[in-house]
Amino acid sequence: MNDDDVAAILARAPLIEMPADVRRRLSRVIATEVALRTGEVAATDDGLNHLDASQMMTALQLAAERDDVHDETPESLAEDLGAEPDSVEIERMPHGYDTEADAGEVELASPASPE
């Protein structure tokens, strides 16, 4: 059995369909990125109509990883995300918190609905 024989066997299982739940998860992540980039939590069409609570949480987590999170206040973050100011809390981590973000956690005090 030579190299080509091995390659032939490997080539027989070429593609695996992305599972539906992974596809949905990626769609949600991309939608969240779009919403963050445009500053619009509630988009207008194409399945982005409104971020649900889960998407909102993802958006908040992503926002917490942003480099400028040190400058964020609940009010500014809420404004960026289109949420009510009192629905966003930022919990600062102690100095030296060992993560790339080294920034803090953002919590949604109550699920915000853009509707």
Partner 1 sequence: MRSDAELLAAHVAGDAHAFGQLAERHADRLWTLAYRTLGNRDDAADALQDAMISAFRRASSFRGGASVLTWLHRIVVNACLDLLRRKKVRAADPLPEQTDHLAAFAHLPDDPAVAQELRDEVAQALGTLGPDQRSAVVLVDMLGYSVNEAAEMLGCPTGTVKSRCARARAALAGLLAPLWGTGEHSAASNTVNEGARS
CB 68 → partner 1: shortest distance, Å? 14
**Cβ(64)–Cβ(106) below 8 Å:** yes
Query: d(Cα 109, Cα 92) in Å, to the nearest integer?
Result: 15
Residue 23 sits in the site that holds partner 1 (CB under 8 A)? yes
Nearer to partner 1, 9 or 109 (CB): 9
Query: d(Cα 45, Cα 40) in Å, to the nearest integer?
Result: 12
Residue 30 sits in the site that holds partner 1 (CB under 8 A)? yes
In the window 47-76, what residues touch partner 1 (CB under 8 A)? 48, 62
Residue 15 sits in the site that holds partner 1 (CB under 8 A)? yes
Residue 100 sits in the site that holds partner 1 (CB under 8 A)? no
* H-run or E-run covering 22: helix 20-38
